[in-house]
Amino acid sequence: MSGNRTGRPPVQRAARRPPGGPLNGGSRDHPVRRLWTQARKAWDRPLTAYYLILGGSLLITMLGLVMVYSASQVTALQLSLPGSYFFRKQFLAAVIGGGLLFAASRMPVKLHRALAYPMLAGAVFLMALVQVPGIGMAVNGNQNWISLGGSFQIQPSEFGKLALVLWGADLIARKQEKKLLTQWKHMLVPLVPGTFLLLGLIMLGGDMGTAIILTAILFGLLWLAGAPTRLFVGVLTIAGLIGGVLIRTSPNRMARLACIGATQPKTGVADCWQAVHGIYALASGGLFGSGLGASVEKWGQLPEAHTDFIFAVTGEELGLAGTLSVLALFAALGYAGIRVAGRTKDPFVRYAAGGVTTWITAQAVVNIGAVLGLLPIAGVPLPLFSYGGSALLPTMFAIGLLIAFARDEPAARAALAMRQPRFGRKRGTGGSAPVRRPAGTPRRWNTMRRRASAARSSGER
């Protein structure tokens, strides 16, 4: 008699499949899935943007110092200067810029907003001072420099970028708080006339490259403010027509436009020497480059090797791996800036972070595009990378802005406040012995995770 009380034969149950069976994707996919899950969790942590901005900007600056030293030695020796002349000036600017970055990262948002109008007034005054005979000086045909004595010069238009970002962000934020952005005249006035004032002062000196970057910042602010498509297209059309007239009436700009995609030097006004030798430098780099300091094009063949075309020397000495690393760092910096702008509820923080991100990414695209032969040579440096203290100082202050905004996110504040001390010891114990926690008390990082989760649930990450 069967042991089953119902008298029925026992049911044959199917064998349970192992966890790594075909239905679960196989055991090979599990390590990849775990790695992907861990990467997504790490990417979505509250301090991801903070570390990307801080780490990415510092890496770009340090690599830029190395490449400035390598690319500028020949130029310095040709000018009967010490080989480290340009490197020492850039290093001094980086140290000062580091102080500005730290100060900006510790300033409250109210102080940043208070600096907007004084900075704009100072930038306009200095840019007007450039046109005064005896004070302003011309470099490479552009009247946009002021001599500070000796070998030190300042380019006020670089500080005009930072002034436009702060002033534009504060202006649009105030109008949004008063619910005035629904009217097109409040969206355009006085933002567009103020930007055109800066553009006019810049174009008096003939620096169209900087004017392109300021125009990109203006469009970035209008797009973040939610400008209607017809209004956005209208402003873009007017700017395009003005730019076309300025290019058409200048033989130098027409020559630069004719050098897009050039692979051989030409005769005449558009010889394309710099554009072609930039391509030669990139082509001879190969996968890993010829080695640091072993560039051939910097020996008098490539003009502006340590300023506008430092990316070409990087490709020749560090190869494709080096150039892709630089591109990856700028991409990470741009992503972090977009993330900060998209996850804040403060209108000023959103517009300022978006303006800084537009500024840095647009300038990087214009510079790298010119080196690759995809865009005309605009004469703008690669942010944080090329030689030039006037460009480095306001850019590092702008990076400090992004760091301050990234730290100010609710989840990031909770993560920084609950960050555990190093070496597992609490502050104030004198370092004698670790403090034991009572049984059943949750660990500190668990509390941090709960607070960060609560902040994310309210719409912030």
Dump the DSSP string for 341-406: HHS---HHHHHHHHHHHHHHHHHHHHHHHHHTTSS-----PPTTTSS-HHHHHHHHHHHHHHHHHH
68 vs 216: CA distance, rounded Å: 27
pLDDT at 449 over 50: no
% the chain with pLDDT above 90: 59
Q: Which tokens belong to 254?
A: 């027409």
Contact predicate 182/169, CB 8 Å: no
Amino acid in position 279: I
330 vs 323: CA distance, rounded Å: 11
The larger pLDDT score, comparing residue 316 to residue 457, is at 316
The larger pLDDT score, comparing residue 344 to residue 139, is at 344
158 vs 165: CA distance, rounded Å: 12
- Which of 51-55, 62-66, 232-236 bottoms out in mean pLDDT, i.e. has the lowest? 232-236
pLDDT at 21 over 60: no
Strand partners, 142: 139
- Which of 162-176, 203-217, 422-436 bottoms out in mean pLDDT, i.e. has the lowest? 422-436
pTM attached to this predicted model: 0.83
Average pLDDT score, the chain: 85
In this prediction, residue 149 carries a pLDDT of 76
Which range of 197-211, 226-240, 291-305, 315-329 scores highest in mean pLDDT? It is: 315-329
In 3D space, the residue among 207, 220, 249, 127 whose CA is nearest the CA of residue 377 turns out to be 207
Q: CB burial class (10 A; 0-12, 13-18, 19+) of residue 156?
A: buried
In this prediction, residue 457 carries a pLDDT of 43
Q: Is residue 179 left, alpha or beta, with left meaning phi > 0 and alpha meaning psi from -120 to 50?
A: left
232 vs 235: CA distance, rounded Å: 5
pLDDT at 448 over 70: no
Structure confidence at residue 76 as a pLDDT band (50, 70, 90): very high
- Which of 19-28, 298-307, 448-457 bottoms out in mean pLDDT, i.e. has the lowest? 448-457
In this prediction, residue 415 carries a pLDDT of 82
